[in-house]
Amino acid sequence: MSGARTELTLGPNLFNWAPERWRDFYFRIADEAPVAVVYLGETICSKRAPLFSDYYEAVSERLGAAGKTVVHSTLGETASRIDRRLVSDVCERTADLIEANDASAALFLRGRPHYIGPLMNVYNEETLRFLASKGAQNICLPIELPFAAACVLCAVAASEKVMIEVQVFGRQSLALSARCYHARAHGRTRDTCRFVCENDPDGLVLTTLERTPFLVANGVQTLSYEYLNLVQEIPALKAAGVVRYRLSPHSCDMVQVATTFRSVLDGTLATGEALARLEELPIDAPFSNGFHHGRPGHGWTVPNTNVRS
Amino acid sequence: MNDDVAPRRPELVCPAGTPASLRTAVDAGADTVYCGLQNATNARNFPGLNFSPEELRKSVDYAHARGRKVLLAVNTFPPAGQFQLWKDAVGIAASAGVDAIIVADMGVAAYASREYPQLRLHLSVQAGASSPEAIRFHCEEFGIRRVVLPRILTVAEIADVHRQIPCEIEAFVFGNIGMMAEGRCSLTNYVTGISTNMDGVCSPAADVRYEEDADGTLTTRLGSFVIDQYRCGENGGYPTICKGRYGCSVQSEPYYAFEEPRSLNLSALLPDLMRAGVTALKIEGRQRSRAYVKSVVAAFRLAVDGIMAGEEPALTDLIALTEGHKETQGAFQSKSWR
């Protein structure tokens, strides 16, 4: 499988960026980033969705004109009336392909081609086959799934004509809640939040009582402090049959990140050199790769190879 | 809440971590008892807890002889390549004659509905189905007969959900309350390498440390991370990540970033829940002692029977059984919790 076509994707932006910043970020991605698929859409908080809706069409068109496939990713946690209306509106009105992030979106999307996002729990071959029978064409695996299980899923996915996608860069989504932890940090509630999450383009860092950076709050989502970085695992993922490699957007130079990962996928840059380049980025947190290796997700397995894929 | 609607008699669904606890719960007045097998197929996979296939069969016989029901939780997410263990669990449940299995994973639900069409399926809280659409998807695809609602909805929202779904509702009323959407939390795995979804363990005891310094300050850790600290004599809780104390740039002092260590106690809302269309009231705590199960089940039995007889529920004793002797009505009372 190592000779198979591979594609880089840019996952949905998880954070509340100012609308103009959001627009300009995607314009630059359209013009400069070697990614084949870009996921748009608000996946964290239904209150944020209207904030950048004025620019959505322009961004979607610019990405499409640049040859990128645009996929609309749906809300991860759907409970309130506004949550539910957002999901049903997206599923019933959007012309773009849609990625379902919870079972309520799956209700609307069954029977037509769609994608399954990492916030849906696809842990095994039975779930994969079931969702494929409902029209799933692309499945992004849960962040905590170890490589051994991903290998089994890749083999099944090939026979079901489903593409497997794996996140390889960016903070890892660890939990969702009905409660907004950004609002709570500011002494507010979700209903009275006044969008305080806009202050933190990469999330709000939580430290332990020993002042060890530990977790990151992003509205109702809890993320890892560390940035997932599977650049050294790319050759193994390629050999296993992973087709798509997801980069999760951050405020660092995502064009540089995409270019580095693309070079590794193309076999023109060795993994050790790629890692060195990524370590030069101004990211204020270490890298992690523990989940892939079946170890604690915050951990980092030290690379001892410098290979080309 | 519409007070004109008479409360319906709910099924009292109680936890059992061992066969002895199951008998205790039945004898204390549980209508239904739920339990799990001794492996990763259920979300309380703790050492020394749970049932062998033979114990399950005998326990079902004990409950059925007294007109009560037994549910088996098969509510974790099998990692690819290890699905056989979950298939075996479904088969064991069917042959033991349980009244339903509680499932979360779509693959497990698809397998059970295909291979055991007579077996009644309940949707676990671990499935995280928090909207009528998500619940309907599971009902229509797998024939789910009852949903265990996530602990994030208000009573008014539960009533609203009830009107829009084709299955029964089971709602948590007492016990440990997790802050994160169930079935979608990898915090324990992030710290310990043990997955709540795949291994059925949140905050595994093997990774918990209690450290007391010379001043008598007690520090609790999970893995290498400090979760909380207690001054000498304070009542220290079991360290779980979502109930820990942390610092951040907009708070001058460390604070409970997610929630304070408290238990859920909805005893005061029981009449409202019974009017909201809830079929079954669920008590959390398969990891708790027989004495705890006996006290809580007996108290709720009295309360439910009292409400049906038109009396006010009296459950003040229950606060002694809540975590750190602190209780909350969580999301159920109002949206300001969020």
Q: What would the pLDDT profile of B220-242 be if each residue is shown by its tens digit?
A: 999 999 999 998 878 778 899 99
Asked if residue A204 belongs to a domain, the reply is no
pLDDT, tens only, B151-178: 778 888 899 999 999 999 999 999 887 7
Asked if residue A58 belongs to a domain, the reply is yes
The answer to which of A30-44, A69-83, B189-203, B309-323 has the lowest mean pLDDT is: B309-323
Instruction: Say what the pLDDT of residue A86 is.
Output: 96
Asked if residue A209 belongs to a domain, the reply is no
Q: A16 with A219: CB under 8 angstroms?
A: yes
CB contact A119 to B (< 8 Å): yes
Residue (of A143, A181, A148, A140) closest to A288 by Cα position: A143
Tell me, what DSSP letter sits at residue A303? P
State the Cα–Cα distance between residues A17 and A40, nearest whole angstrom: 13
Most B CBs within 10 Å, among A87, A101, A130, A134, to test the B interface: A130
Chain A CB contacts of B113 below 8 Å: none
Q: What are phi and psi of B28, to 5 degrees?
A: -85, -5
Average pLDDT over residues A81-105: 94
Closest chain B residue by Cα to residue A134 = B141
Confidence of residue A304 (pLDDT cuts 50, 70, 90): low
CB contact A212 to B (< 8 Å): yes
Distance from the Cα of B152 to chain A's closest Cα (Å) equals: 6
Asked if residue A49 belongs to a domain, the reply is yes
Question: Looking at chain B from residue 27 to 66, which residues have their Cβ under 8 Å from any Cβ of chain A?
Answer: none
Bridge-based pairing of strands A7-10 and A244-247 is parallel
pLDDT, tens only, A197-215: 999 999 999 999 999 999 9
CA angle A62, A63, A68 (to 5 degrees): 150
Closest chain A residue by Cα to residue B338 = A179
Contact between chains at A152 and B152 (C-beta distance less than 8 A): no
What CATH number is given to the structural domain containing A94?
3.20.20.70
- Cross-chain CB nearest to B152 (options A142, A178, A189): A178
Asked if residue A59 belongs to a domain, the reply is yes
Confidence of residue A2 (pLDDT cuts 50, 70, 90): very low
Asked if residue A194 belongs to a domain, the reply is no
Per-state percent for chain B, helix, strand, coil, to nearest 5: 40, 20, 40
Distance from the Cα of A197 to chain B's closest Cα (Å) equals: 12
Distance from the Cα of A190 to chain B's closest Cα (Å) equals: 5
Q: Which residues of B46-73 are buried (b: 16+ CB within 10 A; e: fewer)?
A: beebbbebebbbbbbebbeeeebbbbbb
Instruction: Say what the pLDDT of residue B325 is.
Output: 54
pLDDT at B19 over 90: yes
CB contact B249 to A (< 8 Å): yes
CB contact A155 to B (< 8 Å): no
- Cross-chain CB nearest to B225 (options A178, A190, A214): A214
The answer to which of A37-41, A251-255, B309-313 has the lowest mean pLDDT is: B309-313
Contact between chains at A125 and B195 (C-beta distance less than 8 A): no
Longest CA span, chain B: 61
CB contact A43 to B (< 8 Å): no
A259: number of Cβ within 10 Å: 18
pLDDT at A120 over 60: yes
Distance from the Cα of B27 to chain A's closest Cα (Å) equals: 37
Strand partners, B210: B220
Average pLDDT over residues A268-285: 96
CA angle A86, A90, A95 (to 5 degrees): 165
Quote ipTM for the complex: 0.96
- Cross-chain CB nearest to B105 (options A121, A212, A298): A121
B306: number of Cβ within 10 Å: 15
pLDDT, tens only, B68-125: 999 999 999 999 999 999 999 999 999 999 999 999 999 999 999 999 999 999 999 9
Chain B CB contacts of A148 below 8 Å: 79, 81
Average pLDDT over residues A108-137: 98
Question: Looking at chain B from residue 149 to 188, which residues have their Cβ under 8 Å from any Cβ of chain A?
Answer: 150, 152-153, 157, 179-181, 183-187
Distance from the Cα of B187 to chain A's closest Cα (Å) equals: 6
Confidence of residue B1 (pLDDT cuts 50, 70, 90): very low
Instruction: Say what the pLDDT of residue B176 is.
Output: 82
Chain B CB contacts of A128 below 8 Å: 80, 107
Confidence of residue B260 (pLDDT cuts 50, 70, 90): confident
Number of domains making up chain A: 1
pLDDT at B330 over 90: no
CB contact A135 to B (< 8 Å): no
pLDDT at B2 over 50: no
Chain A CB contacts of B251 below 8 Å: 185
Tell me the residue range of the domain where A258 lies: 7-172+224-293
- Cross-chain CB nearest to A177 (options B78, B181, B183): B181
H or E segment at B29?
none
Alpha helix segments (H runs only) across chain B = 19-28, 53-65, 84-96, 106-115, 132-142, 155-164, 187-192, 196-199, 270-275, 290-308
Contact between chains at A121 and B184 (C-beta distance less than 8 A): yes
Mean pLDDT (chain B, rounded): 91
Average pLDDT over residues A115-127: 98
Asked if residue A160 belongs to a domain, the reply is yes
Q: Under CATH, which number does the domain B11-177+262-337 receive?
A: 3.20.20.70
H or E segment at A261?
helix A254-266
Distance from the Cα of B212 to chain A's closest Cα (Å) equals: 15
Average pLDDT over residues A254-280: 97
Residue (of B14, B78, B100, B19) closest to B52 by Cα position: B19
pLDDT, tens only, B274-316: 899 999 999 999 999 999 999 999 999 999 999 999 887 766 6
Average pLDDT over residues A158-172: 97
Instruction: Say what the pLDDT of residue B265 is.
Output: 84
Contact between chains at B105 and A123 (C-beta distance less than 8 A): yes
Confidence of residue A1 (pLDDT cuts 50, 70, 90): very low
pLDDT at B3 over 60: no
Asked if residue A180 belongs to a domain, the reply is no
